[in-house]
């Protein structure tokens, strides 16, 4: 029954997208066969008034009708231009996560249930909501410490949002499975895996203790960084459904007029923003992945304060080296080295030729050289690079795509502050310093130290490895003598899974067919 309900919800979502003109706004002229017929039918069923809106406005109206879960889905897909395309990703990034506030009494009940104490014991005063989003809303409050009052921001989870989101998530998984099954070309993008990532990131975002931990980690990483910080967390007043943190007095970075009136140096703020982001990415491997201007404040002394760390990105040491060597290779026009880095990292399958891939990389790099530095976009370069890797069967790397999306946003914010912003000149001190420290002689010593530690750990595990090897040898002998056999439980699980996938696909198709017949009957 849950799969049947998921099918109905999926059809309803599709119908809303059709009626609001979202499907009709897609470039259907390039389609052929059944997809083009479906696109034409979508245009026929579009509301007449929807045709007057731009595609981004149509999308915003559809998402509002579908509810908070789809706002979060849209925001997540905005981080995956490899899945939805750059144009649609930009439209999704413009979605306003502004929802109706829920009653203060419900917020108080959620706080008391989460922390096990009365609001009057926790806060000297607790005010009305000042902002509301799809997952939570923020209240202004005051705490007392040794008789001294401090203003704080209290973020409270929206009641019922977890239940509604995970109900809608069933529809997302159904759509992803159908896409993988019936659209073979989409399998490279791993739609089911993308949906699993959405589920995981939203689970994290809906546990405010984890956002508090991310703020704490980024705060420790940046405690000695000039001109950047995050709000301090009040752990005594933080739980799964409530996050209390320092109130930030500053001007939002999207208020250009306000920043100018306050006497801030916009060019210096742009440089500070980009260098801070690159420092977090390369040095720490942990970065704020939702750095749109609404989440960035500028304090009177010019310090940037980043809030709302529900989405964070991580890069391992290998990925950081990959990024640095790519940027350095483009700067020095060493396209063969850029291609080799892709192969060394295992991102491009070995059946392709390094020289052919280097040729494709050259097609990206050469047009850049000779242009004025302020017109060269590092984010655009990474976007073009990912488009080329598609031709060479490079599997989607979610951490790199999230990095690329965040870099697009950060660079865009910097250019709104300074239209002549020079990305390469600004990045050079951070990227160059990281390369010299991590790809030079010091890096070799660090790698040797890491290798020695790994060998020592392996030596400590030698007795256990020997025992495992002996057991494996016996199992291989039995397999050679009797053949490969499944136990009864494994065979039953495989059969059950296959039956479930086949049944859900047929059921979804029947639901869609019946619904379309009903819609056609009502319209005509």
Contact 404, 81 (CB under 8 A): yes
Q: Is 301 a catalytic residue?
A: no
Q: What angle do CA 43, 51, 83 make, to 5 degrees?
A: 65
- Any alpha helices (H) in 131-265, and if so which ranges? 161-182, 191-205, 208-221, 256-261
Closest CA to 90 of 412, 333, 509: 412
Phi, psi of 169 (to 5 degrees): -60, -30
H/E element, 144: strand 136-145
Closest CA to 161 of 86, 224, 70, 81: 70
Residue with tokens 């130290």: 449
* Cα 134 to Cα 346: distance, rounded to the nearest angstrom: 38
Q: Which of 97, 290, 301, 487 is catalytic?
A: 290
Contact 169, 275 (CB under 8 A): no
Query: How big is the chain by its Cα radius of gyration, in Å?
Result: 26
* Cα 176 to Cα 189: distance, rounded to the nearest angstrom: 11
Residue with tokens 């999207």: 254
* Cα 199 to Cα 203: distance, rounded to the nearest angstrom: 6
Contact 350, 343 (CB under 8 A): yes
Closest CA to 214 of 123, 77, 311, 118: 311
Closest CA to 111 of 99, 122, 102, 100: 122
Q: Which residues are catalytic?
A: 290
């Amino acid at each position: 029954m849950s799969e049947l309900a998921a099918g109905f919800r999926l059809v309803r979502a599709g119908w809303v997208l059709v009626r609001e003109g979202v499907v009709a706004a897609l470039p259907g002229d390039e389609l052929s066969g059944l997809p083009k017929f479906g696109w034409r039918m979508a245009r026929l069923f579009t509301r007449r008034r929807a045709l007057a809106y731009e595609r981004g406005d149509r999308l915003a109206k559809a998402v509002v009708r579908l509810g908070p879960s789809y706002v979060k889905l849209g925001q997540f897909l905005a981080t995956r231009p490899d899945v939805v395309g750059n144009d649609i990703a930009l439209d999704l990034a413009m979605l306003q996560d502004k929802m109706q506030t829920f009653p203060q009494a419900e917020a108080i009940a959620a706080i008391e249930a989460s922390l096990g104490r009365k609001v009057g014991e926790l806060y000297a005063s607790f005010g009305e909501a000042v902002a509301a989003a799809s997952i939570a809303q923020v209240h202004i409050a005051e705490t007392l410490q040794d008789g001294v009052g401090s203003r704080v921001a209290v973020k409270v989870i929206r009641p019922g949002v977890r239940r509604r989101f995970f109900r809608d998530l069933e529809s997302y998984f159904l759509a992803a499975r159908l896409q993988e099954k019936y659209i073979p070309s989409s399998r490279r993008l791993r739609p089911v895996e993308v949906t699993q990532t959405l589920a995981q990131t939203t689970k994290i975002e809906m546990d405010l203790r984890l956002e508090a931990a991310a703020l704490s980690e980024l705060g420790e990483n940046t405690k000695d960084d000039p001109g950047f910080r995050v709000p301090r967390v009040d752990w005594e007043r933080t739980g799964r459904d409530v996050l209390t943190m320092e109130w930030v007095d500053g001007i939002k970075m999207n208020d250009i007029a306000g920043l100018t009136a306050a006497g801030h140096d916009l060019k210096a703020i742009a440089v500070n923003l980009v260098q801070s982001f690159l420092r977090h990415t390369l040095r720490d491997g942990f970065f704020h992945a939702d750095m749109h201007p609404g989440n960035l404040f500028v304090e009177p002394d010019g310090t940037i304060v980043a809030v709302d760390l529900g989405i964070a990105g991580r890069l391992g040491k290998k990925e950081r080296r990959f990024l640095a060597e790519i940027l350095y290779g483009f700067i020095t026009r060493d396209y063969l080295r850029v291609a080799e880095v892709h192969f060394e990292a295992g991102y491009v399958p070995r059946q392709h030729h390094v020289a052919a891939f280097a040729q494709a990389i050259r097609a990206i790099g050469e047009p850049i050289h000779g242009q004025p530095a302020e017109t060269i976009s590092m984010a655009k370069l990474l976007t073009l690079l990912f488009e080329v890797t598609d031709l060479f069967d490079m599997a989607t790397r979610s951490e790199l795509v999230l990095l690329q999306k965040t870099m697009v946003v950060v660079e865009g914010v910097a250019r709104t502050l300074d239209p002549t912003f020079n990305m390469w000149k600004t990045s050079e001190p951070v990227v160059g310093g990281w390369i010299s420290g991590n790809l030079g002689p010091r890096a070799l010593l660090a790698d040797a130290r890491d290798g020695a530690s790994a060998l020592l750990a392996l030596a400590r595990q030698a007795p256990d490895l020997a025992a495992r090897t002996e057991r494996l040898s016996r199992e291989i002998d039995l397999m050679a003598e009797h053949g490969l056999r499944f136990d009864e439980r494994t065979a039953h699980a495989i059969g059950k899974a296959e039956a479930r996938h086949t049944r859900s696909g047929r059921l979804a198709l029947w639901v869609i067919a019946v619904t379309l017949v009903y819609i056609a009957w009502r319209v005509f």
